Chains A and B, each alone.
Chain A
Amino acid sequence: MTATATATPTRVRPSGTGWRGFGRLLRTETAVWLRDSSSVFFGVLFPTVLLVGVGFGIPGMREPITGAPQDSLWYGVTPIATYLPTVLAMAIGTLAILSLPVTFATFRDKGVLRRMSTTPMRPQAIIVAHLAINVATTFIGVALALGVAQALFGIVQPTQLGVVLGAFVLGMLSLFSLGMLLSAVVNKPSTANAVASLVYFPLLFLAGLWTPGPIMPDIVRQIGQFTPMGAAAQAMDTGWFGEGFPLLQYVVMLAYTAVLLPLAIRLFRWT
């Protein structure tokens, strides 16, 4: 009998190989994720749709600002161009805060994470796969938005490209850390939806979605700079149109990442 023959004691191996099959996991998760049309719409198309809608829907968005003082950040820039940093910050937040926690709450609810932990694959792999999917989608959504904005409106060359890129990366780190914290603890997809909305919309407001750059009330700016999305938008504003280094906003985003990410890892629930 073959089963008897194989029943010799084996030496204990170190805990599995861990990442075998990760490539296929990533491909399969991506294919399945793409079947959800809402995640594709919000992740890939929403920033572009919003830019085009605002650019053509609101009068004067494409006329250069001349009412501002000549030494202001905004002088000579079109309002639609000043909207870009906010839209980019929103693009990150949409995936990190609206999409990711619902994904993980669904996994937890359905026992996907638990099922995975019965196989040689580490269940952590599915987290890594979904971070990769969401980060990649952020880049695609942002690239599309920038490309379309350039074609339709002509975007401004950033004055300090490095500051913009740094702010974008830090914005991703801090917003995905916040998204992972929500993902770590929310159990039901319906709760995840509710909690994510409660976090997402105030953040959008503070990042200037309704009052971008030049027309943002000072109080919103003051509060917004201490939120991850608001700090990202403001730091990109500075890098794009202004001079100097947005130190406070950078520090705020770093602090969110440093606090929230370890917390998310610590609190992450598998069941």
Chain B
Amino acid sequence: MFPSSFDYVAARSVEEAVAAKAGAGDDARVLAGGQSLIPMMKMRLAAPAQLVDINRVPGLDALERTNGQLRVGALVRHADIARSDLAFGAIASAAPWISDPLVRNLGTLCGSVAHCDPEGDWNSVLLATGADVVARGPSGERTIPITDFVVDFFTNALRDDEMVTEVRIPVPNGRSGGSYQKLERKVGDYATVAVAAHLELGGTGAIARAGVALTAVVPKNTKVTAAENVLVGNHPSTELFEEAAELAAQASEPRDDVRGSAEWKRNVVRVFTRRALTAAAAQAQQG
């Protein structure tokens, strides 16, 4: 299978990439890892007139902690995150479960985030941890909270002339923990169900901040605010986590498909939310 023909631009800088993208209107796509985009182009689900390859842009592969943030550049591969000591909580937990080892060697976090596939993992992790997406356009840079960035099924908040340059994840100051629980039929398959959880504890040991988000059981990656609200202000406990898990299950909208029945998936959401919160709390209480 081959993609449709396209014009290929190997950008040497973000400015060049943005200018190329702006020139092609809504018919250009940025090529980072290409692990979703190239298959979509081969299957002719996508047929951009122009492909702007950013793989030769210097500096976009930076993965670093600065100003209390974990900054993930647009060329940081899933495998880079999986083997980095800088990753923490739900991010470190999710990285080894993205697709398969070969895809992880090329695919990028920022690309996955921009793709907005509701069966993609990273947007749930970013919703739970409260990340920001940094976008660059001809008129400069803007920071978009992940809750605004994920608009819908395969739809992000980028304008046609913008590209994602970086994702910034706040690094908690105090005790914190996170976990990503994913059920997949086989390595490399999309999640049947996955749940991201992030907890920060205050001085008394009560939960000061909580993040819970769902993958593959909602039309877009979704933050479960009701569950988060129940958690904040309380001490971690089995009963509390069961209550939050029930709210997460209620918030899910799974459908019957080849991966299982809606009823079963909803139950997996309940169990995985409880497990993710339990793992997150255990990690926070150790640290």
Is the pairing of A and B real?
no
- Measured CB to CB, the residues of A under 8 A from B are none
- Measured CB to CB, the residues of B under 8 A from A are none
